[in-house]
């Protein structure tokens, strides 16, 4: 069973917002995207919750909230995500200025 105190079913939109707050902006070329395992670690979720995060990220990618990147290195494939929507005013200003 899960070892966290939080109940993911009770999060709703707050859970999506928490995931978005962890992801780097798509325009930021200095940072790579995060995979479901890295997102879980950043939020303090157990690794068993990776499937839930993966499904939610796929839905968010279909809605246009995040961008999904797929990489293949040899036989292994990796998936990472970056968010498309700015969360803070300074990110909006930086995007407007093209920084």
Fold of 8-97: Arc Repressor Mutant, subunit A (1.10.10)
CB 87 within 8 A of CB 20: yes
> For 24, which DSSP code?
P
pLDDT tens series, the chain, 99 aa:
444 555 555 556 677 888 888 888 887 777 888 888 898 888 888 877 778 888 889 998 998 889 999 988 888 888 899 988 776 666 666 666 665
Gyration radius of the chain over CA positions: 14
Q: Which H or E element spans position 83?
A: strand 76-83
Spatial distance between the Cα atoms of 2 and 67, rounded to a whole number of angstroms: 28
């Amino acid at each position: 069973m899960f070892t966290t105190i939080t109940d993911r079913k009770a999060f709703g939109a707050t859970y999506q917002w928490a995931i978005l707050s962890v992801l780097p902006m798509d325009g930021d070329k200095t940072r790579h995207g995060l995979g479901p395992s890295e997102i879980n670690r950043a939020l303090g979720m157990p690794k068993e919750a990776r499937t839930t995060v993966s499904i939610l990220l796929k839905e968010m990618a279909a809605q246009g909230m995040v961008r999904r990147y797929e990489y293949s290195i040899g036989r292994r494939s990796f998936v990472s995500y970056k968010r498309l929507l700015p969360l803070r005013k300074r990110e909006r200003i930086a995007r407007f200025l093209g920084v």
